[in-house]
Copies of this chain bind each other. A is one copy, B any other.
Amino acid sequence: MTLDRINRKILSVLQQNARITNQALADKVSLSPSSCLNRVKKLEEEGLIDAYMAVLDLPSLCRSVTVIATVSLKDQSTEAFKLFSKAADEIPEVVECYTVSGAFDFFLRIIAPDMQRYNAINDRLLDLLAGQVNISSHVVLETGKPFRGYPLEQLLDEIKPAKK
């Protein structure tokens, strides 16, 4: 499937507004509603569109604490990595987890109702590998820029297939 100009526009628009009507989307990309719908469906089927989610405003919902944690494993075995990844995956408050190269092994984003409960999660992660893990917690003071999608303009600027 080709990621032509139209498909990029579709992705870009849906990334910013997942609930746009198919008709309005068709207008924006200058296609008929039926063709547009076909493309969207294909993009979903091919897995380019993974999901559609509502972005909630956490502060309006409840008081909470967000923490970015850096994690280093003293024993960098495959088993230790797996064990830790699995734990992160299973703890709902860990909303994001990356394995990285460099001074740390993982970055986590964790959201808890308060510090006390954050501490409980921290302890749980520490206990996992019985002291063989180093976790540094960094409380988020301000979200300067929340994630709002990928910079498609910058990422997809390959040369477009010119017409014949």
Q: Which residues of A contact B (CB under 8 A)?
A: 3, 11, 14-19, 46-58, 60-62, 64, 66, 68, 70, 85, 88-89, 92-104, 106-107, 109, 111-113, 136-158
Tell me if A's interface is mostly helix, strand, loop or mixed.
mixed
Q: Are B102 and A138 in contact (CB under 8 A)?
A: yes
Contact of A138 (CB < 8 Å), options: B16, B53, B101? B101
A107 to B146, CA, bound (A): 12
Known: A93-B154, A113-B154, A149-B53. A139 touches B100 (CB 8 A): yes
Please name the 10 residue pairs, one residue from A and one from B, whose CB atoms are nearest each other, closest first. A14-B54, A92-B151, A100-B138, A97-B144, A18-B52, A97-B145, A99-B142, A102-B138, A51-B55, A19-B52
Known: A49-B57, A150-B111. A99 touches B19 (CB 8 A): no
